[in-house]
Structure 1
Amino acid sequence: MSKRKKIFLSIASVLVVILSVLCMYAYNVYNSLQDTVSVMHQPIERDVPAKRVEKLSLEKKDPFSVLLLGVDKRENDKGRSDTMVVLTVNPNEDSIKMISIPRDTRVPIIGKDFEDKINHAYAFGGVPMSVATVEDFLDIPIDYYIEINMEGFQEIVDAVGGVKVKNQFAFNSGGFTFQEGQIELTGKEALAYSRMRYEDPRGDLGRQQRQRQIIEAVIRKGASLQSLWKYEDIFTALGNNVKTNLTFDEMVTFQSHYSSAVKQIDHYQVDGKGQRMDNIYYYVVSDEERARLQDIIKKHLGV
């Protein structure tokens, strides 16, 4: 056998081994994700029909919406959705829009005959009532929900290897000191960072901004190829702390058809004013502000 053939066969053998390892790795990732999604998957039956007129088609790359609920659950307490973020994903524009809804926002609670703080919808009727109430507030269909246990959110941050955010001013919270500027956060630090509001002159609005920073950082870090090597930790953290009506097939389709949307993430704040009614604090949003937000989000969804 010639020297050239020997070199060629040696290279070919190495390539076969590498490809075999990669195939086995991809197979393990695929199966682990499938197992994790089966644990996370929790469909919802809604009393109020969704506002989507035509059926959503992921294969056609239709824009879709997600309600992200960060829930603090306590012993003998169903909990409240202290974090409520609506994400709309449009692969045709390669963009995601993210709207934080203040937890004290006064709205009609769909399924009840009264107005109350929007985060109380979860306490009254869980995910279905939260979804229906947000759909009514923004006048859009909510296609999917993701419920995150906020106590366990730190596990997700640690699983992706921590996150980097740009802090606007120095402050102390949860036993940690956060300097102004670019900072790197562990899971515990990220939770303390996102929960602080009393030292922030913007109050809950400032807290919402920090929550959006953490969410965006996790999305970007989790979507990177670098995170594939940590898939076991990431999938375990998700399985322990997340519930969603997303199926495994839908998640696979997102990766293949919608991953480009991560390129641009736009943040929007719900403007309103604090007001006391019967000695209870509410965040009151005007009809004009609701119309402004609805216009932005409807255009992005194409509804």
Structure 2
Amino acid sequence: MRRWAKIVISGTLIAVIGVGGYAYSVYRPVVNTLESIYEPLESDAAIAASDSGGKGGSLTASVGNAGVPAVRELPADLSEQQPFNLLVLGVDERENDIGRSDAIMMLAVNPKKHSVLMFNIPRDTRTEIVGRGKVDKINHAYAFGGVKMAVDTVEHFLDVPVDYYVKVNMEGLEQIIDILGGVTVDNPFAFDFEGTEYAEGPIGMNGHEALMYARMRYDDPKGDLGRNDRQQRVLSALIEKGKNISNLTKVNSVLGAVKDHVKTNLTKDDMMEIVTRYRTEIGTVDKDEVQGEGRRIDGIYYYLVDEAEQTRIRAELNGQLDRTP
């Protein structure tokens, strides 16, 4: 788990998923890929225009709808090794359907503390959807308004600005896993799902089996929290395989899949800064969980997070980022 989180924040998830040190031998294809997956938020331009003092200054810029208290500050200055947070959206996109954010993960990186704080926001969390004027499941924000609405809604839920995002199409992970020859994970308990048996202990899986493994939740005693854990196990195993790529054909195939299935508002230079300035500074990873309870409201299942828990998570996040709430 710790090795996975270190690699994620060092940029290999963004370049997917672990081309790692070998990337330097195929520099131009990697650069082309990083440039092609860059997709800024609409608000990024407004924030950049307001930054008369240089990136990472103290100016702020309001985003989202009127009446919404969430404020996006200028993104962290990565060249100065400032703390930053990264919102990872694992999206279930299908043909003729924008899909929903199947996984919502926040990473808060502080090189001065040599640590990362990591937690998932359960997809069924009931909250206000910014820009829709209604309360709904947090993963519906992406379906209603894409990455912009998802980021605005997470910011509003946490009352903490998001510096950067990475969107990964879950179907793309299936393709990448097959290119790399499958993955092996240590499965904590046996279960059957979608016609496949997953035994307890170490199991090898192809791309489709791994994607189904990561999606199952109703037979997991921990529900959404258990699925979050399995998603992280798959990503960890995938990165380990990616680190050992030695075949140029496989590298080019992975880069092709990345172009089709990953988007981020981190620029090529931002990602290079993360690789060169942050990777060696991270010593520990602290994992947290958003605590709540499942409940049906008008026949619909939601994960309810009370105000006290939101305050606790917000304080943990601000503390990790050295920000005063």
Alignment match, 2:9: none
Match of 2:41 among 40, 44, 55: 44
Shift of 1:53: 4.2
Higher Cα radius of gyration: 1
Alignment match, 1:144: 164
Match of 1:106 among 111, 114, 126: 126
3-state SS of the aligned residue for 1:59? Answer: helix
Shift of 1:194: 0.5
1:35 aligns with 2:32: yes
CA contact (8 A) 1:159 1:237 kept: no
Alignment match, 1:7: none
Match of 2:198 among 172, 178, 186: 178
1:60–1:82 Cα change, 3 Å = same
Alignment match, 1:9: none
Greater shift, 149-158 or 129-138, is seen at 149-158
Shift of 1:54: 5.5
Residues 256-282 of structure 1 show CA distances to partners (whole Å, capped at 9, x for unaligned) of 011135653332221111122222221
1:267 aligns with 2:287: yes
Letter in 1 for 2:190: A
1:192–1:265 Cα change, 3 Å = farther
Letter in 2 for 1:285: V
Please give the alpha-carbon distance, in whole angstroms, between the structure 1 residues aligned to 2:106 and 2:91.
15
3-state SS of the aligned residue for 2:119? Answer: strand
CA contact (8 A) 2:70 2:156 kept: no
Alignment match, 1:210: 230
1:197 aligns with 2:195: no
Letter in 2 for 1:30: Y
CA contact (8 A) 2:91 2:100 kept: yes
Unaligned stretches of 5+ in structure 2?
A: 1-21, 44-62
Please give the alpha-carbon distance, in whole angstroms, between the structure 1 residues aligned to 2:287 and 2:169.
22
Residues 174-195 of structure 1 show CA distances to partners (whole Å, capped at 9, x for unaligned) of 3332222233443222211101
Alignment match, 2:173: 153
1:78–1:54 Cα change, 3 Å = closer
Shift of 1:283: 0.9
Please give the alpha-carbon distance, in whole angstroms, between the structure 2 residues aligned to 1:258 and 1:50.
27
1:27–1:204 Cα change, 3 Å = closer
CA contact (8 A) 1:100 1:212 kept: no
Tell me the TM-score normalised to structure 1 length. Answer: 0.82
Greater shift, 265-274 or 126-135, is seen at 265-274
Match of 2:261 among 241, 263, 271: 241
Unaligned stretches of 5+ in structure 1?
A: 1-24
Shift of 1:28: 5.1
1:88 aligns with 2:94: no
Match of 2:319 among 296, 299, 302: 299
Please give the alpha-carbon distance, in whole angstroms, between the structure 2 residues aligned to 1:236 and 1:114.
38
Please give the alpha-carbon distance, in whole angstroms, between the structure 2 residues aligned to 1:137 and 1:150.
24
Matches within 5 A, 1:113-124: 113-124=133-144
1:191–1:31 Cα change, 3 Å = same
Shift of 1:121: 0.7
3-state SS of the aligned residue for 2:221? Answer: coil
Residues 85-108 of structure 1 show CA distances to partners (whole Å, capped at 9, x for unaligned) of 111222233332221111111111
Aligned-CA RMSD value: 2.4
3-state SS of the aligned residue for 1:93? Answer: coil
1:295–1:144 Cα change, 3 Å = same
3-state SS of the aligned residue for 2:168? Answer: strand
> How many pairs align?
277
1:160–1:75 Cα change, 3 Å = closer
Greater shift, 46-55 or 196-205, is seen at 46-55
1:54–1:276 Cα change, 3 Å = same
CA contact (8 A) 2:172 2:258 kept: no
Greater shift, 36-45 or 73-82, is seen at 73-82
CA contact (8 A) 1:220 1:262 kept: no
Residues 172-229 of structure 1 show CA distances to partners (whole Å, capped at 9, x for unaligned) of 223332222233443222211101112212222211111122234445554x4x3465
> What percentage of residue pairs aligned between the two structures are identical?
47
